[in-house]
Amino acid sequence: MTAPIVTRDEPVAGTPMLDARLVVDRGAFRLDLALRISAGEVVALLGPNGAGKTTALRTLAGLTPLHDGYVTLDGQDLDRPDLSRWTATERRPIGVVFQDYLLFPHLTALDNVAFGPRRHGLDRQRARAVASDWLGRMGLAEHARRKPRQLSGGQAQRVALARALAVNPALLLLDEPLAALDARTRLDTRAQLQRHLAAHPGATLLVTHDPLDALVLADRLVIVEQGRVVQEGDAATITAQPRTDYVARLVGLNLHRGRADGHTVRVNADFSLTSGDRHDGEVFVAYPPSAVALYPRRPDGSPRNVWPATITGIQRHGDNLRVQLGGPIDVVADITPAAAAHLHLGAGQPLWAAVKATETRVYPAAPGGSHPE
């Protein structure tokens, strides 16, 4: 049986708490991603629906077996198909917060949280004391005797977090922990969650499709698309230098991939952009929607990048309008309502778009540490 709750030894510096390569082959879909998380670190696995995030989480929890690769947690192989090593879910030092929490409906909040400590060998009284302590830390002491259906969404989320943390997991896994909450509750709960994750001494993996959750809660982001890591790094790097269309959309940038030759970046066969910096080879070009100016006629003067475009869609975006443009390249532009009135915008209308060379950001397409496909 698993050892009773004890404080873990400090991990040896340099070795990650979690070291994993997760391979799951389902024919049409193949998950293959490497993950390393240090003790105390919070990593967000961010990606669109169907990217394999939840499958990755399930393999770490032992709810889905690996087909290849390995899961090493705190120096122990939990799942290693090539050596036939396998540790069942109930023997893994993990805690999971599920998307809709899955609090046991027949137990009170207190007994939900005490469930883990009880299974880890504490007697009923001590398990309840541990649970009571955790509920207190979550600010839920007065709700201890309530059943899950009597709790609000935010309270249920915190009970689920307390339940997962009450076994002192070496690895805490959270599956879309804020997705089930309404916008207002989400704001408060996110702030509290951040505090509790920062205090958690073990490794934490957060699975989410919400970039805001990832940016606020995580120390490091790992972005997955179609079962593969497409980019990873801290929030600043990823927001400044997106490497796929998905990431660019998440952080609100226009992104093109092309071949640079000095100040010219050839984006496709018919179109090149002029950049401020000199580069050579495969690069990305990124610029914010606010850098794209629209004109009813071909503008004279300074902008070097000018091309004819047609409007394919318009949406409100904060105080401005976000205009989707087709043409030699697909971009989005943000313009003020006043400018929109001046342009007589309408779908299918031809326009001229312009971007100043100095507003573009160009960076190499294949730096170390990322895995472009």
Partner 1 sequence: MPLLDDPVARPVPAAPPPRPRRTGRIPVALLLPAALGLLFLVLPLVGLLVRAPWTTLPQRLTEPGVLTALRLSLQTATLATLLCLLLGVPLAWLLARVDFPGRRVVRALVTVPLVLPPVVGGVALLLVFGRRGLLGGWLDSTFGITLPFTTTGVVLAEAFVAMPFLIIAVEGALRGADTRYEEAAATLGANRWTTFTHVTLPLVAPGIAAGAVLCWARALGEFGATITFAGNFPGRTQTMPIAVYLALETDLEAAIVLSLILLTVSVAILASLRDRWITSP
User: What are the residues binding partner 1 (CB under 8 A)?
Assistant: 2, 61-63, 88-92, 94-96, 98, 102, 104-106, 115-116, 119-120, 163-164, 167, 210-212, 249-250, 252, 315-318, 322
* Rounded Cα distance, 201 and 111, in Å: 24
Judged by beta carbon, residue 61 or residue 354, the one nearer partner 1 is 61
Judged by beta carbon, residue 174 or residue 283, the one nearer partner 1 is 174
Judged by beta carbon, residue 119 or residue 342, the one nearer partner 1 is 119
Q: In what order do the strands lie in the sheet with 320-326?
A: 292-295, 350-355, 305-317, 320-326, 331-335
Question: Shortest approach of partner 1 to residue 211 CB, angstroms?
Answer: 8
C-alpha closest to that of 60 among 30, 28, 87: 87
The single-letter DSSP state of residue 249 is: H
Contact between 324 and 345 under an 8 Å Cβ cutoff? The reply is no
- Residue 61, both tokens: 């929890």
Question: Shortest approach of partner 1 to residue 149 CB, angstroms?
Answer: 10
Name the 3-class secondary structure at 139: coil
Q: For residue 347, count other CB atoms closer than 10 A to its CB.
A: 10
Judged by beta carbon, residue 3 or residue 269, the one nearer partner 1 is 3
Judged by beta carbon, residue 63 or residue 240, the one nearer partner 1 is 63
Question: Shortest approach of partner 1 to residue 171 CB, angstroms?
Answer: 11
* Rounded Cα distance, 137 and 155, in Å: 12
Give backbone dihedrals phi and psi of 48, rounded to 5 degrees, phi first.
-70, 170
